Structure 1
């Protein structure tokens, strides 16, 4: 948790996964694609008919290199 506390969040995405025999796969596939794209699960909240996920994509830090000369 400490690592994520100090990271800047570049993007946020909310994904709904419905508890339904045929429709759960829609949200599941969306989460899997987001995870492959570098998103991380920030939190999830369970409802009677599904789960809402909040995903974050951290900003990649670039280090500046100083040159003498």
Structure 2
């Protein structure tokens, strides 16, 4: 990943990548959109886990990024 980001130019962020989902439907995304998705997707799942923990009476862990960098 370090090499990828080191070699990534600003103009690369707007390049379009085509991909196909498991149902055969094609989508087109910019590199910027894909990187944003990668950055945010894990947070989505951590929220899901904490929601399920709360539902069964368990106090969830803190998942805010700022808590990890303190």
- Please, what TM-score do these two structures have when normalized by structure 1? 0.28
Q: Which of 1 and 2 has higher RCO (CA within 8 Å, sep 6+)? A: 1
- Please, what TM-score do these two structures have when normalized by structure 2? 0.28
Q: Which has the higher strand share?
A: 1
Q: Which has the higher helix share?
A: 2
